[in-house]
Structure 1
Amino acid sequence: MFRRTRSPLLLAGLMAGAGVLHFAVPKAFDATVPRVLSGAPRTWTYASAVVELALAAGIAHPRTRSAAARATAGFFVGVFPANVQMAVDWRRRPWPQRAAALARLPLQVPLVLWARSVARGADTP
């Protein structure tokens, strides 16, 4: 029971933290914006931050948790191209940075599953 109530708040915290980071150090995230997206990378960085904060708020509130968690799973899938862009761009960087960029790719799978789990948990009494 404790895990069921803690998991959504941890996911909300992760999303809120990511959103704050996108606003606090946007330059680090600008470089991961796939070049196929039109417009300035900073616009996409800030838009991502707004979405992450909105999803965090939705997950934190029990009445909107299910829908927000489903949207979060979709968001994780949607930002996957940015992780691929980062892995491609960082392939010539020092090993620790390359490893971090590569580790982000499979990390999306447990994040999607976690968000789906939170959505299912919100649907059950």
Structure 2
Amino acid sequence: MPRTVAPLTKDIIGLAGLFITSGTTHLVKPEVFDPLVPDVLPRRREIIIASGVAELACAAGLLHPRTRRYAGLASAALLVAILPGNVQMSANHGKRAQRKGTPQAQAAFAGTLARLPLQLPLIRTALRAAGRR
């Protein structure tokens, strides 16, 4: 039985918007993401550019009904793949907050920690776009 195409809902549009914003930033200001790439990975700048292109491709795919299912699966995989970068960002901000001890550094660290569990609803949205529950 063929799967039906997931409707283009506000959450899928929002996910596509996040990917467009982030993907564009990856390409225009890749240096912003340098500290987020774990040190163990080689060719860090190429990873940043490739992930930006992947985010833009996922965004475009999510917005079109013929590609939404595949883009949803790719988006979920991409969100899992970039999770180590988000963890690295939190670790970096945590070190900075300890070193500086300022309310701004502590707030930035708290923000990065709060962002980590937000990956789960984004992944759920991507899977819903793929026609999965």
Shorter chain as denominator, the TM-score bin is: 0.7 to 0.9
In structure 1, list runs of 5 or more residues that go unmatched.
none
Larger Cα-atom Rg:
2
Kindly report structure 1 stretches of 4+ aligned residues shifted beyond 3 Å: 3-7
> Does 2:80 align with 1:77?
yes
In structure 2, list runs of 5 or more residues that go unmatched.
1-6, 97-104
Of 19, 23, 30, which aligns to 2:23? 19
Q: Deviations over 1:21-79 (max 9, x none)?
A: 1122211111100111112x221111110100111111111100011011101111111
- The total of aligned residue pairs comes to 118
Q: Which residue in the other structure is 1:28 paired with?
A: 32
Cα distance in structure 2, aligned partners of 1:8 and 1:105: 19
Contact kept, 8 Å, 2:26 with 2:51, in 1: the verdict is yes
TM-score calculated relative to the size of structure 2: 0.80
> Does 2:41 align with 1:37?
yes
TM-score calculated relative to the size of structure 1: 0.85
Superposed CA RMSD: 1.7
TM superposition shift of 1:7:
3.2
Identify which of structures 1 and 2 has the higher relative contact order when contacts are C-alpha pairs closer than 8 Å and 6+ apart: 2
TM superposition shift of 1:9:
2.4
TM superposition shift of 1:13:
1.7
